[in-house]
Amino acid sequence: MKKAIRGVTTSLAFIVLVAMAARITFAWDQARKIPPGVLAIVPFQQETGNIAYSLAQGKGFGSVFRADTGPTAWLAPIYPLMVAGVFKILGSFTTTAFFAAVSLNVLFSSAACVPVFFAGKRVGGLIVASLVAWLWALFPNAIMIPFEWIWDTSLSALLAATILWATLAIAESDRVLNWCAYGLLWGFALLTNPALGTLLPFMLGWLACRGGQSYRGLGESRQRWERVALAAGVAVLCCVPWTIRNYSAFHRFIPLRSNFPFELWLGNNDIFDEHARNGRKVITRTEETRRYAQLGETAYMEEKWQIATSFMVSHAGLELRLTRRKFNAFWTGVESPIKSFRETDSILIRGILLCSLLTGLGAFVGVLVLWRRRSVAAFPLAVFPLIFPCLYYVTHADLRYRHPIDPVLCLLTAIAATSAWELVRSRKHTEAGAATEGDAGGAGPL
């Protein structure tokens, strides 16, 4: 019986099926509460849906606010193209298209169990691998987001987990084809979610240095650097066609996305300044659409950049407070997690807050455990919670923006949990041994 239970709990196929069942069940439960007409339209009323609609109508990659404003580089191309394909096959703004998009997200999210399982197996063995796969399968955010957001979020989580697994695996390989495939993976990731690019130099740097340490000969070390350069070159080549398209459309260098100034402005403007005389107290989509159409994308982004950077320079003290609020929002989903936990009556919201907080803390404990063990995987795993969030501390933060690294956070939490369990067992054994020695020492002839 123990062998059977162990076989089920460590079966990756079974865990993936449970993950899919949990996500499908949540989607079904939520969908039956929402009118079909709402499901067909509202989830697509954002940048991804608007660009996908423009593509499906044959108008090209543009019209980011649904108005016919011409080409855009607001988003990277992969996920809008996927949604456009759904629109082409099943019709634009239909319930069938919505459920198809959700099904893709469910598939992406459930599939993330696979790379995170094998990454966990490399780092901590079968127990860690099984635990992290179960954590991801039942993680509330991972169950909820595939339905709630028709965005690249679930696909990005799969790609981030795959990048970690591939990085750990490629460190032991010298095959040129493997390094080319690694570069292709990075190219696809960059064209899906450019924010993942913040991890690229650190992963490649670790691979180069790790290779240099593990090979004795200078020639072999040089060969490893060449492999790293090859992967980087392949990743860049994947992005070149999109960059050329952007230059052709806007006559300026836009490697992947153009909307960083807008994101920076969203988190740094007069709305946050209580003493601003002419500052707006709300940002409306209607006003931004009008301004965007009036200026065009290039001038609109330049304006947002100037406003945001001027605000940041002139409000240094406020920026520190805003950074703290963004830190809280990134790791818990809200700027005041304790207050929100107390005030809400929703068990779901409390569960999300609690799980987000625990995995955040668990991730940092997991990093410390790996560093203490001098694990070779300590650096590439630490990069995810330490480097990736910095972009959102500067711009604006939300729990959804954290989701791409959630599988890795679950892995670090699993490492922390198994380490704590081993420590408890070790202490119990020590105490039991001491008690046995005490009994033996106290026993003597009558």
Taking the CB of residue 298, how many other CB atoms lie within 10 A of it? Answer: 15
Mean pLDDT (whole number) for 200-222: 73
Position 438 scores a pLDDT of 57
Tokens of 176: 């040129």
DSSP track, 336-402:
SHHHHHHH---HHHHHHHHHHHHHHHHHHHHHHHHHHTT-TTHHHHHHHHHHTTHHHHHS---HHHH
Residue range(s) defining the domain that contains residue 129: 2-421
Report yes or no: 378 and 412 within 8 Å, Cβ to Cβ: no
CB 362 within 8 A of CB 409: yes
Q: Is the pTM of this model over 0.75?
A: yes
User: How many angstroms separate the CA atoms of 129 and 142, rounded?
Assistant: 18
Taking the C-alpha atoms of residue 416 and residue 363, their distance in angstroms, rounded to an integer, is 7
Residue with tokens 């009994």: 439
Position 443 in a domain: no
Q: Note whether residue 445 is domain-resident.
A: no
Q: Contact at 8 Å (CB) between 408 and 160?
A: yes
pLDDT digits (tens, 9 = 90+) for 175-194: 999 999 999 999 999 999 99
CA distance 308 to 312: 6
* Tokens (6 digits) for 141: 């955010």
Q: What is the Cα 372 distance to its own chain's centre? A: 26
**Comparing 204-208, 220-224, 372-376, 405-409, which segment has the lowest mean pLDDT?**
220-224
Q: In terms of pLDDT, which residue wins out, 373 or 6?
A: 373
For residue 280, tell me if it sits in a domain: yes
Task: Output the pLDDT for position 446.
Answer: 27
Q: In the predicted model, what is the mean pLDDT of residues 427-442? A: 61
Structure confidence by residue, pLDDT tens digits, 298-321: 999 999 999 999 999 999 999 999
pLDDT at 445 over 60: no
User: Does residue 437 lie in a domain region?
Assistant: no
259, 301 Cβ separation under 8 angstroms? yes
Work out the mean pLDDT of the chain and round it to a whole number. 91
Is residue 273 assigned to a domain?
A: yes
Can you tell me the distance from the alpha carbon of 271 to that of 280, in angstroms, rounded to the nearest whole number?
6
pLDDT tens track for 333-352: 888 888 888 888 888 888 88
**How many angstroms separate the CA atoms of 134 and 9, rounded?**
8
Lowest mean pLDDT among 82-91, 351-360, 425-434: 425-434
| Closest CA relative to residue 53, chosen from 298, 39, 43, 283 | 43
The DSSP symbol for 106 reads H
How far is 386 from 381, CA to CA, in rounded Å?
9
Cα 140 from Cα 117, distance rounded (Å): 18
Q: Do 433 and 138 form a contact (C-beta atoms < 8 A)? A: no
Assess if residue 350 is contained within a domain: yes
- Residue 167 is predicted with a pLDDT of 97
22 pLDDT more than 90: yes
Number of domains in the chain: 1
What is the C-alpha to C-alpha distance for residues 242 and 256, in angstroms, rounded to an integer?
7
Tell me, yes or no, whether 438 lies in a domain. no
CA nearest to 257, candidates 313, 198, 312, 180: 198
SS3 state of residue 71: strand
Residue 222 confidence class, pLDDT cut points 50, 70, 90: confident
Give mean pLDDT, residues 373-395: 95
Tell whether 430 is covered by a domain. no
State yes or no: pLDDT of 425 exceeds 90: no
Which pLDDT value is given to residue 344? Answer: 86
For residues 211 and 216, give the distance between their C-alpha atoms in angstroms, rounded to a whole number.
Answer: 10
